[in-house]
A and B are shown apart, each in its own frame.
Chain A
């Protein structure tokens, strides 16, 4: 029952993190095995999905550490990050984003997500692919709400910048 209920959100999360279907399926299986193995440690006062995604997130952190990814650690604070983001005002130049068809834009976003630093990618995927609330994400990561909001904001703006870069 647990697997059927959460297989799609877990696969969507891991799939967007690794971008390889077979690897995503293997990792998702491993996450569910870890969930079953740790069921005794689950406390009902916490939301089950929060607990499950904490396990999934830790699994991904272990994976990146084993791979010794030279980019930012998934839990590292991005450069210049503060709880209160700097004032961001709209660009005065028109964006190319609106010139793309929706299908084309989806493909570009899919590729651009892979270029986001891990700490931003994970939160962006949770917020805009899995549809988590900022509060849920803050609980899963054990981070202040302001930090989570700021990172998601940075992810979105970086994504927009990546989409505007000439391919």
Chain B
């Protein structure tokens, strides 16, 4: 009997053989003690290797990696913001100097003027907003009062009529509305056809 090559035994163990090849190995191993022993040894060896305990990954591993990647990004972001702020400040300074030169006012006069302008506009805006709020509140109050009155009238009317009559009344109203709508739409379309 010719023994199997070890490569063949590994191929069998790793599931690389199928059909007749697999059957041939199984038949040979069943009748050859040396190959059977060799197969078992390698099966145990691979099983142990494939179940070696995994290295435990610390919970903060990914964060630690990202922290080392992020500084570059956050540095870029910060420098972007700084650039924008610096550009804004520079524009303001240039505008201020230009205004001072053109108008001939001193720095303190300009600051004072700007302050007065902002304050007077703020006061005007506040009074407009207050008036607007008052009108909105008044409108809401009136609408609530009207809705209350309508509900009171409906309540009084329905107290005189039994539930069956109410259903008939509602049904008739719905039918009238739907029928009226249908007739109106037909008339409208006929008129439009005539016009065309």
Contacts and interface: CB of A to CB of B under 8 A. Distances in A.
Contacts of B34: 90-92
Nearest to B48: A105
B6 A11 contact: no
Contacts of A15: 55
A109 interface: yes
B143 interface: no
Contacts of A102: 44, 47-48, 51
Nearest to B55: A15
B62 interface: yes
Interface string B82-100: 0000000000000000000
Interface in B41-81: 41-42, 44-55, 57-58, 61-62, 64-66, 68-69
A164 to B, nearest CB: 9
Contacts of A92: 34
Contact of A12 (B38, B42, B54, B58): B54
Contact of B52 (A33, A85, A129, A163): A129
A148 to B, nearest CB: 13
A89 B53 contact: no
Interface of B: 3-7, 9-10, 34-35, 37-38, 40-42, 44-55, 57-58, 61-62, 64-66, 68-69
